[in-house]
Structure 1
Amino acid sequence: MDLNILDFAVRGSTLGTILILTVLIWLSRIAREAQFAWTLLAIASTAKSWSHLVENAGASADIVWVLKIIGTLGALGITWFALTIFLDEKRYRWLWLGSAALINMALLSVPLWPQITPFLRGYAVLHFLALLTLILYSARGDLQDARRRLRPLMSAFLLVYSMVQAITATPLKGFQSTNVALAQSTVFWFFLTTFAIWALKANLSNWPGETVPDATDKPTPQERSTEQTALVRRILEAMDEGVWQVEGLTVGSLAQKVGAPEHQVRKAINRGLGHRNFASFINRARIDAAIKRLQAPEASEETILQIAFDVGFSSLGPFNRAFRETTGQSPTDFRKQALTQM
């Protein structure tokens, strides 16, 4: 079979899969940021993929150049989309996006300063390795089974696809070999198709979005099994007993406390209590306790740092961030407002 025909077929299949996923994602109830991130990734990937074919087909140089420029946005698209899927916490996200944007700007600058190419590739490798590490590290507190199962696939995709591009692809130039183009198209099609199957099996309304869904998104008691309802009850009892005060509490240690397998505890907290991340589940209890202390006149002489330590935070910075995310105010401002209203 002619490799050019096979290459065209693979790229056509990829484009069809991208279109289907884009429609499904925009029709779903996932966060708007994720919809825009996916759209950017889809546009960049499609432009980069088809620039090679239209160039070989004799398209005008202007069209090819525009497609290649759009294709350089792939680093930003991949980074943004990976962050929206796997990270519930938005802190430092702008640093990651800024790093990806720097790669894109460097790609556009290569024709003017070709000597930066080795540095660009080295930086791109470091960027995607760091992103891969972040994805794997953040799996510890992830409570969504579908998203946890996707992490190895996305990690492999970042490692194989993005880093191969960073090392071997010549910026803003097409592939000299049809074999190389076909190999990259096939890899991208494989991962994209696998991701599409995962997305269709997973509930698109569950990712990515707010860390704690509204009560209307939680399953009713009738929808839970008797076993899960009992486990939820034991988890809540452990929380009432103050297990959330243990510094460095993990899903595994909580599972030992309630006498259940770790995967069942993850599922119970996620589906039974509506939390997507273990840290948010524990921090919510800690912040609720801190709110009561800050509202109490008898505790007005206690320092913010003392309250942060007492409710289970190891330092003031994480406590201030978690408190502001929950209440929209700093602990100091919240206390002043609460005490003046009494």
Structure 2
Amino acid sequence: MNDTLVFPALLAVRRRRPRDIHLYFALFAGSILVFCLRSLIGGANGLAADFLAIAGCATCGWSWLLTRALFRRDAPDALPWPWGLVLIMIALTAVLRWSPAGPVQQMGGKVMELIGSTALLLALVEPLLGLRGAAQGERRFRLIFAAAYATIMGIGVIWISGAPQGSWAAQWGDQVKIACAFVGLLGAGLAVWYRGRHALADGARPRRVATDDDRALGERVLRLMTEDRLFTEPSLKVADLARHLGEAEYRVTQCVTGALGFGNFNQMVNQFRIEQAQQMLSDPRCDHLPVLTIALDCGFGSIGPFNRVFKARYEVTPTVFRNTRAGKLV
């Protein structure tokens, strides 16, 4: 079978995987439904009640991850620690549910309250971080989202939780919380729908207009990269490139981000490295070379950064890329 036809087709299938924003929405929606079900059954005990408590404990954490995905371009797959924080909440809830009453359980409950409150606050702050420089439509979306989120939290968390005993808010607290949860779920769905039709801009500042000198310098930079293969030096810095060119560092940086159109110096270097790696992984004559060797030959210092940059570009790992080209995957 023709590899030139099979490989792009398989890559296209992999590119249609669900976006992280949809995964976070599904997790948030599931935790909302579990929270509502738990509220309806009240203070029941048993394994089912324990499961509902554990499954619904991370609602505030999932809301934060969803908000990050809505308002940050680098949120998906970029940082593992937010996921870790949510998983800690789930594990801590499981420990508290099955541990005897005492000081340890009380302290754990306080820690859970602190983590949950922090996640709620972070979810409120996320849309406000990108207000500066945002387009009018994006700015309006962020402000509406933040206002709606603050209103729901103000009613469902602050007002109901702080209501005095015997008051209307205390008596109908569970019903109000369930109503707020469903309003929040509806709002989150609308936000995901809106983001799907209005992609998040990169927020980068307008680039400096390139001059003729910048373009001439850009040609020299490209020659060093393509002909002298300067990108294969693992510790290559702007200062090193400037020294080869006999130019000031700021001039090289202006050229890279202006005339050449890259976001920064590292982005440019990694693009040359990844393109070279892709060529080697696609070449049957290089099949005897381990992936690590190819990574080092292309200028990466270790396999970890190489895998991350390659997957960000081609949406598959280098090993999967090579095996797919070689017809080893079904």
Structure-1-length-normalised TM-score: 0.41
TM-score, normalization by structure 2: 0.42
Q: Which has a greater percent of helix?
A: 1
